[in-house]
Every structure is written in C-alpha cells, then in structure tokens.
Amino acid sequence: MKIKTMRTSGFTLVEVMIVVAIIGLLIAVAVPNFKRSINKSRTIACHTQLQNIDASKMQWSVEEKRSDADVPSESQIGVFFRDGFPVCPAGGSYTIASVGQKATCSVHGTVGEDSTGQ
C-alpha cells in the first residue's frame, strides 16, 4: 500500500505576515526621509530664486540708474526672468524689499537663514 503525500505550494500565513511586517517597517523608515528630501529641495529652490531676485534688483537699479533705497515692483524685475516673476515652491510669498536689502520668503526666510529666521 502506497501512501500519497500531498504537496501544497504557496506561503503560509506566518510567512506572509512576516513579509508584510518587513515591508511596513521599510515604508515607516523611507517616508519621513522622502518628505525631508522634498522639503530640503524646496528650500534650496526657494533660496536660489531669492538670489535671482536680488540679482535682478541689482540689474534693474543699474539699468534704471536707481539707488539702493529704491524698491522695484514685481513687474519691473519680472522682465529679467524667462517665465515671469518666480513663485516659491512651498507656496510662500516673496517680499522684494529695497535694492540694498535681501529679498525674503514668508516660508523660508532669506538666503542663509532657515525657516526659523536663524
């Protein structure tokens, strides 16, 4: 008499639960790092745009023969940008200030500062 052994292929419930737990752990580690890198790239892009605004203010003051105390409008320095006046990638608003002062962002501050103003 022969005994037939039945082979089943597939994974047990415990194996599937372990895999799901490992994937969950990897996601828990990856998501905060991903969000942090997105915020960092937005800050860098904003600071680059602030530097471009400051350079455009200087160019405007030279072309229009203005002093450091004069404040240009968005439309006056917007002509120096290919796509018009820049917009903060984090949704903040830019304050142009006078030619002698740095432009600021309502979210990221000025170039060289973090969002806390330091």
Say if 80 falls within a structural domain: yes
Q: State which residues form the domain around 100.
A: 14-105
Kindly state whether residue 41 falls inside one of the protein's structural domains.
yes
Our count of domains for the chain comes to 1
On the question of pLDDT at 48 being above 60, the answer is yes
In a domain, 44, yes or no: yes
1 domain-assigned: no
Residue 60 placed within a domain: yes
Q: Does some domain include residue 65? A: yes
62 by Cβ neighbours in 10 Å (0-12 / 13-18 / 19+) ranks as exposed
Nearest CA to 109 among 99, 95, 98, 97? Answer: 95
What the block records as the tokens of 118 is 């330091």
- Under the banding of pLDDT at 50, 70 and 90, the label for residue 1 is low
Assess if residue 83 is contained within a domain: yes
Residue 105, H or E segment: strand 104-105
Is residue 6 one of the residues assigned to a domain? no
Q: With a threshold of 0.75, does the pTM exceed it?
A: no
pLDDT in tens, 102-116: 999 999 988 876 544
| Range 54-78 average pLDDT | 92
**pLDDT, tens only, 71-85:** 999 999 989 999 989
